[in-house]
Structure 1
Amino acid sequence: MAPLKLTVIGTGYLGATHAAAMAELGFEVLGLDVVPEKIELLSQGRVPMYEPGLEELLRKHVAGIEGSTGRLRFTLDWAEAAEFGDVHFVCVNTPQKRGEYACDMSYVDSAMESLARHLRRPCLVVGKSTVPVGSAERLAARIVELAPAGDAVELAWNPEFLREGFAVQDTLHPDRIVVGVAGPTGEKLLREVYAGPLGAGTPLVVTDFPTAELVKTSANSFLATKISFINAMAEVCEAGGGDVVRLAEAIGYDERIGSKFLRAGIGFGGGCLPKDIRAFMARAGELGADQALTFLREIDSINMRRRGQMVEMAREALGGRSFLGTRVAVLGAAFKPDSDDVRDSPALNVAGQIHLQGGQVTVYDPKGMDNARRLFPTLVYADSAVEAVRGADVVLHLTEWREFRELDPAELGAVAARRVVLDGRNALDPAVWRAAGWTYRAMGRPTA
């Protein structure tokens, strides 16, 4: 039997990673997007975002690059993709609707319908996007209605669990593979696609459509809950004089709780967690189960409150006065390290709030500068941490890059106007900074 050929519909963060990883697993892969500039870039083995290891993996497999396997190509042609693929992975975005909590399904709907109209032979369409429960059943019926091959086209749902900064590793060596199927073909073909990881011991969970759709939103909701829980404890520590870092260490030894995601700070952001928990709440409301997820509203509220609290902490560090005439250095723009993603970034949100209140804010981030400039063009951007701190009255550490943890406080102190650092990620060593003459503060920790 001929080896499977795969297509990846949508070549953004998820799709580009999935396409390169599937080529690495030995498959011929054709990626499709509707943006010509993106296809041109990927065809040169380049990526429009920063993700460790992804560009190297692309260049290893993209056709036309010297020394590559040639297993990966890109196209704008729906008919070509439909004819090429035995398994079609749909990896398009599901953003939050403007002015609503609900998920915008227009990109998924459009991709599924555009592909279906060209499907003239038996194949499997696999949704990987994070969607509201109930979407797969509706889309399966729509595909059969539109596809020339009719019910010879089957749908499966295979949610992604990528962590930005670890996406390549998470695709090639996943901690679990979940497939929601409605018939035998879906499970059979996906077992063949993922034979490598399954052979290496990755567990496979085979389930129905609704359960598969709920896995990603449930996982994200749990992580968001854990992050907001420790941030709520940081607020209590502030009020009661406790140390949230020691608190997290103590409860983390309980194996029922675990230590991961218990670092208090300015909260979560990015393109997934915030919009996914809001879409989950919205969908629960549509299903009449809104009472089950009312706790997520408080989780979201705690998370957003952290940003305002960091602004107020900066104001207190300046003597409680207005930000007018003050210079504030912000270390970090991406929502997390090892990424250039600034979508819903807590760091940029804090920087923007202080700027709007009259502060002169200078930002530095190892990878997120270009994206930050596009989003917040009125902020000042520096080429290094030292240049960002030069002349600053207060320094805010807001994205926990390794580069920032390894900074020399004495070197920074020599250029700062005042040696005051606010650690919004509880990632710096207080003893080291205080020994260099800095006033160190972090959320939920004693001041001395």
Structure 2
Amino acid sequence: MRLSVIGCGYLGAVHSASMAELGHEVVGVDVDPGKVQALSAGQAPFFEPGLPEILQSAGATGRLSFTTSMGAAAGARVHFIAVGTPQARGSNSADLTFVDAAVDALIPHLQPGDLVVGKSTVPVGTAARLAAKIKDSGSGALLAWNPEFLREGFAVKDTITPDRLVFGLPADPEDAAHARALLEEVYATALAAGTPCVVADYQTAELVKVAANAFLATKISFINAMAEIAEVADADVTKLADAIGYDARIGRRFLNAGIGFGGGCLPKDIRAFSARAEELGRGESVAFLKEIDAINLRRRQRMVDLVVDALGGQVFQKKVTVLGLAFKPDSDDVRDSPALDVAVQLNGRGAHVIATDPEAIPNSIRLQPQLGFATDTADALHGADCVVLVTEWQEYRDLDPVALKEQVRTPLIIDGRNVLDPEAWRAAGWTYLGMGRP
């Protein structure tokens, strides 16, 4: 099929390349000339494992192209809307400016029978409004909603071999059948492999994504709330998580206490969900999400407090090495990153912060140029009064505490992700502190 993807940021770039890798003819459209130039050259404008390889392999086939011209979308049978929905300034609501602009710009190029497919995360009710706009345009095109479930670091895999598909279809049976047939053709490879597919209405498809994010945020913040209790009770939240994780109704995944979640999706999505629920008159139904957000933000402050306490009550002119800047490993994304936030707070208290990360230093410099940075881990660690692990990159998990002790001034490490072995570090002569661990 010939497809267009409107918006070539994180979601759109991955989706464009993955669809072309699956055999479709894809044109990606974006307003940023620099981004288009990089993608056209087979270069990913952000770090995502596997993306450069499929950009180059799909580009070599001639099936993948990128442009700033919306007119290039004409002739495609399916058009994916993959633009961002950031948090609105001065509000918790989602900013739909880019979604509306993308649809408005696409409408003149639509033909009868075309399918516009929303992938952006939007407040419930958005799809119905956009469907009416497309219908009123007289283009003869239809709208479907197909939420994304990408995990940064695994986005290519999640697109090519998704764990589920959700199709939000029009209410009219004929329109729904046409939209479903086109989507099944787009995702023929995944469906043939037995990928579960949930067919629903617009509203349910929109709610699936925000509900999934809300549940995940709740699970993460629950174990962090338990960490707060464990700290004052002198208990071990890691063993607690292991024990309750054996319960099949609960499960162990995402029960890892630490400094909390971040990134460009989870925080703003749960805030937008709360804001939309209030608009619908049901704010009390998700009122708990405000506490989830508060717990999450408290963990960052708790990490800063641990560093201050461990250094005798003040960090002024103490060298603090911060291991990690991205909000999660295998990513260079520093949007609402707990790791970067901790580094900034320590710097604000007068610490001599040297931060390092395998991929996220350039993005961090653009946002927080006042910090000190080191591209080499050994350079960052040299002479440190305290080492703070805040992003669980594998290379930090694999650090040798014996060898590392010779590089620092004071063998003090604070594990903000509870991924190190306390016994091994203490046996090597380190003072080890974790989050919610005795």
Q: Secondary structure at the match of 1:117?
A: helix
Structure 1 residue 338: Cα displacement = 0.3
Q: Distance in 1 between matches of 2:72 and 2:36?
A: 14
Deviation of 1:80 after TM superposition, in Å, equals: 2.0
Picking from 338, 353, 359, the partner of 1:361 is 353
Describe the SS at the equivalent of 1:197. helix
- Post-superposition CA distance 1:365-416 (Å, at most 9, x none): 0110100111110000012222111111111000000000111222221121
Aligned partner letter, 1:112: V
Task: Choose the corresponding residue for 2:50, options 48, 53, 65.
Answer: 53
One-letter amino acid of the structure 1 residue matched with residue 287 of structure 2 = T
Equivalent residues of 1:161, 1:216 under 8 A apart? yes
Q: Which residue in 2 is equivalent to 1:370? A: 362
Map residues 416-435 of structure 1 onto 2, 5 A cutoff. Answer: 416-435=408-427
Task: Determine which of 331, 336, 345 is the counterpart of 1:339.
Answer: 331
Cα pair 2:354 2:374 within 8 Å, conserved: yes
Are residues 1:301 and 2:294 paired?
yes
Is 1:19 the counterpart of 2:16 in the alignment? yes
Deviation of residue 24 (structure 1)? Answer: 1.3
Counterpart of 2:41?
A: 44
Match of 2:157 in 1: 169
SS where residue 169 of structure 1 aligns? helix
Q: Which of residues 200, 204, 213 is equivalent to 1:211?
A: 204
The Cα shift of 1:297 comes to 0.4
Give me the identity figure in percent: 58
Cα separation, 1, equivalents of 2:184 and 2:155: 21
Residue-by-residue CA offset, 1:62-120 (whole Å, 9 max, x unaligned)? 1xxxxx21110111111221x23100001000000112100000000000110012223
Match of 1:291 among 273, 276, 284: 284
SS in 2 for 1:340: coil
Pair 1:144 & 2:100 matched: no
Contact between 2:27 and 2:72, CA under 8 Å: does it hold in 1? no
Corresponding residue to 2:316 among 310, 316, 324: 324
Letter in 1 for 2:428: A
* Aligned residue in 2 for 1:65: none
C-alpha distance in structure 1 between counterparts of 2:162 and 2:65, whole Å: 24
**1:328 Cα shift?**
0.6
Say if 1:327 and 1:394, in contact at 8 Å, map to a contact too.
yes
Q: Which amino acid aligns with 2:97?
A: S
TM-score of the aligned structures, taking structure 2 as reference length? 0.98
Aligned mates of 2:27, 2:109 — CA distance in 1: 15
Match of 2:169 among 158, 181, 197: 181
242-251 or 381-390, larger mean C-alpha shift: 381-390
Residue 106 (structure 1) aligned with residue 86 (structure 2):
no
Greater Cα shift, 254-263 or 322-331: 322-331
Query: CA–CA distance in 2 between the matches of 1:318 and 1:413?
Result: 17
Amino acid at match of 1:91: A
> What code does the residue aligned with 2:260 have?
G
SS in 1 for 2:79: strand
- Provide the C-alpha distance between the structure 2 equivalents of 1:161 and 1:92, rounded to a whole number of angstroms: 15
Name which of 105, 109, 116 aligns with 1:118: 109
Please tell me whether the aligned partners of residues 113 and 146 of structure 1 are also in contact (alpha carbons under 8 angstroms): no
Structure 2 segments unaligned to the other structure (5+ residues): 171-175
1:10 aligns with 2:7: yes
Distance in 1, Cα, partners of 2:195 & 2:121: 21
CA distance in 2, matches of 1:273, 1:48: 22
Tell me the TM-score normalised to structure 1 length: 0.96
Which of 376, 400, 404 is matched with 2:392 structurally?
A: 400
SS of residue matched to 1:84: coil
- For the aligned residues, what is the CA RMSD? 0.8
| Aligned pairs (5 A) from 1:380-399 | 380-399=372-391
By how many angstroms is 1:130 displaced? 0.1
The corresponding residue for 1:88 is: 79
- Give the whole-Å Cα distance in 2 for the aligned partners of 1:417 and 1:146: 68
Looking at structure 2, the residues matched to 117 and 12 of structure 1 have their Cα atoms a distance apart, in angstroms, of: 23
Deviation at 1:325, TM superposition (A): 1.6
Number of the residue aligned with 1:260: 253
Distance of 1:88 and 1:60 partners within structure 2: 22
- Tell me which amino acid in the other structure corresponds to 1:6: L
Partner of 1:193: 186
Instruction: Provide, for residues 102-160 of structure 1, a one-character-per-residue CA deviation record: whole Å limited to 9, x for no partner.
Output: 0000000000110012223420000000000000000011122235x2xx200000000
The separation in 1 between residues aligned to 2:401 and 2:295, in whole angstroms, is 31
State how far apart, in whole Å, the 2-side matches of 1:324 and 1:156 are.
56
Q: 1:413 aligns with which of 384, 405, 409?
A: 405
Deviates more, 1:42-51 or 1:383-392: 383-392
Letter in 1 for 2:104: E
Tell me, in whole angstroms, the C-alpha distance in 2 between the residues paired with 1:165 and 1:118.
34
Residue deviations 1:236-290, cap 9 Å, x none? 1101111001000000000000000001000000000000000000000000010
Q: How far, CA to CA, are the matches of 1:185 and 1:205 in structure 2?
A: 16
1:155 aligns to 2:147 (yes or no): no
The residue that corresponds to 2:173 in the other structure is: none
Equivalent residue for 2:437, pick from 416, 430, 445: 445
Q: Which string of whole-angstrom CA distances, capped at 9 and with x for unpartnered residues, describes residues 310-344 of structure 1? A: 00000011012x22121111000000000000000
Secondary structure in structure 2 of the residue aligned to 1:6? strand
In structure 2, what residue type is equivalent to 1:8? V
Deviation at 1:16, TM superposition (A): 0.6
